[in-house]
A and B are shown apart, each in its own frame.
Chain A
Amino acid sequence: MALTLKSRCCVVIVLLLASFQSMADTAIDARHFEDPVMAERYRDLTASLRCPKCDAQAIDSSDSPVAADMRERVALMLHEGRADKEILDFMANRFGEFVLYNPRLDGRTWLLWALPAALVAGGALVVIAFVRARRHRRVRPLSEEERTRLSSLIHRHRERSE
C-alpha cells in the first residue's frame, strides 16, 4: 500500500483540491424525512461518519461522490428500520475504522476512555492527599530572637519612610 513521492503528491494535491472544493461547496442534498426522529438520527449519523476520501470532513458536509453514496445508504438503512449501531458497523466493515468519528471500543482504543476516568479518580486522590497533609499544618510561632529581629526591621523601615 506504499505510495511513491510522486503518486503521494498527486493524491495529496487531489485530496487537497477536493477537500477545499468540498469544504467550500456545501453538499446540500434536499432529502426530507417525514419522521423528525429519523431526521435527527440521519443528521447525527452523517455527522459522525467520516468521508474516507476527504481530509477531515464528515459525510454530511462533503461533496465527494463516495460521501453522497454513503449518505444515500444511511437514508436507505434508516428507512429499513436499522439501528444506529448497525449502520455504523456496516460502514466500518466496508470503509474501515477510519470512517467512525466515535471510535469503537476495542483493544487499542480503550485508553481513550480509561485515561480520562483514571485522571479524574487520580485527581480526586491528589486533592484528598493535599488537603489532608496540609489541613492541620500551622505556621509555627516566632521565636524570641525572630521577634526581636522583626521589630527592629519594622522600626528601621518606619524611620526611612519618614
Chain B
Amino acid sequence: MIRRLLLLLPFLVFVGLAFFLYRGLSLDPSARESALWGQEFPSFTLSTLEEPGAEVDESLLRGRMSLVNVWASWCPTCKEEMPQLLALSERGVQMVGINYKDARDLGRQFLEEFGKPFEVNIFDPAGDLGFELGVYGVPETFLVDANGIVRYKHVGYITPAQVDEVMAEVEKWH
C-alpha cells in the first residue's frame, strides 16, 4: 500500500509542477513589485523646475492625495503619456512631476511643447530622488496618499486604456 503511494508520488509532484508552469505562462516575468508600497515617500530637498530658488521637500505631498510622475525630456514614451496625464489631471487628481536626470531648459521646453498636467515639478537632475524611489526606467508613476504613504506604482507609460485603472486606484485609497 505504502509502496503504491510512493510509486504514485512522482506523478503527483509532476501534476503540481505542471499547474505552476501553466500559471506561469500567464504571468509577466518583466513585471516588478515596488519596495515602497506602504512606505513613506522618501525625504528629499530639491528645487522645482519652474523656480530654481524655491525649495520643496516631502511635505509637498502631505495633506492631499497626489500622483507623482517621473518623466524626462529624453524619454520618448513620456511624450506619448502626456495626453493620459492631462486626462488624469482633468479628472481632479493632483499631479506632481519629477523631472529626472534632465536639464532645466530642456525640461521646461518639453512641458511647453507637450502639455502641463503637473501642478509643480520637482527638479531632480542627479537622479537621487529617483534612486530613492527605485526608479529604473522612466516613466513611472506613484500614487501617494494624503499622509505621504506610497500606495501604488505604475511602471512604464500609462496607456489610454489604463487611465481608468489608475483612477480606480486613486478612488480606492482616497
Q: Touch between A and B in complex, CB under 8 Å?
A: yes
A interface, CB within 8 angstroms of B: 1-4, 6-8, 10-12, 15, 51-53, 55, 64-66, 69, 73, 92-98
CA distance A1 to B156 in the complex (A): 9
Q: Identify which of A51, A65, A94 contacts B133 (C-beta below 8 A).
A: A94
Q: Which residues of B contact A98 (CB under 8 A)?
A: 32-33
- Mask: chain B, 81-110; 1 = CB below 8 Å from A; 0 = not: 000000000000000000001000000000
Q: Is the interface of A mostly helix, strand, loop or mixed?
A: helix
Q: Is B155 an interface residue (CB 8 A)?
A: yes
CA distance A12 to B5 in the complex (A): 44
Min distance, Cβ B6 to any Cβ of chain A, angstroms = 11
Q: Tell whether, in the assembled complex, residue A96 and residue B137 are in contact, meaning their CB atoms are under 8 Å apart.
A: no
B interface, CB within 8 angstroms of A: 28, 30-36, 77, 101, 127, 131-137, 152-157, 159, 161-162, 165
Q: Select from chain A the residue with minimum beta-carbon distance to B39.
A: A93
Q: Tell whether, in the assembled complex, residue A1 and residue B31 are in contact, meaning their CB atoms are under 8 Å apart.
A: yes
CA distance A11 to B155 in the complex (A): 10
Q: Identify which of B36, B131, B154, B159 contacts A4 (C-beta below 8 A).
A: B159
Q: Tell whether, in the assembled complex, residue A7 and residue B159 are in contact, meaning their CB atoms are under 8 Å apart.
A: yes
Min distance, Cβ A131 to any Cβ of chain B, angstroms = 18
Q: Identify which of A2, A66, A93 contacts B35 (C-beta below 8 A).
A: A93
Q: Tell whether, in the assembled complex, residue A1 and residue B132 are in contact, meaning their CB atoms are under 8 Å apart.
A: no
Q: Tell whether, in the assembled complex, residue A52 and residue B134 are in contact, meaning their CB atoms are under 8 Å apart.
A: yes
Residue of A1, A2, A96 contacting most chain B CB atoms (<10 Å) = A1
Which 3 A-B residue pairings sit nearest by Cβ, starting from the closest?
A: A66-B136, A94-B134, A52-B136
Q: Tell whether, in the assembled complex, residue A7 and residue B157 are in contact, meaning their CB atoms are under 8 Å apart.
A: yes
Known A53-B136, A53-B137; judge A94-B32 contact (CB<8 A). Answer: no
Known A1-B31, A52-B32, A94-B132; judge A7-B137 contact (CB<8 A). Answer: no
Q: Tell whether, in the assembled complex, residue A1 and residue B159 are in contact, meaning their CB atoms are under 8 Å apart.
A: no
Q: Which residues of A contact B132 (CB under 8 A)?
A: 94
Q: Tell whether, in the assembled complex, residue B134 and residue A95 are in contact, meaning their CB atoms are under 8 Å apart.
A: yes
Min distance, Cβ A123 to any Cβ of chain B, angstroms = 15
Q: Which residues of B contact A66 (CB under 8 A)?
A: 135-137
Q: Identify which of B32, B156, B157 contacts A96 (C-beta below 8 A).
A: B32
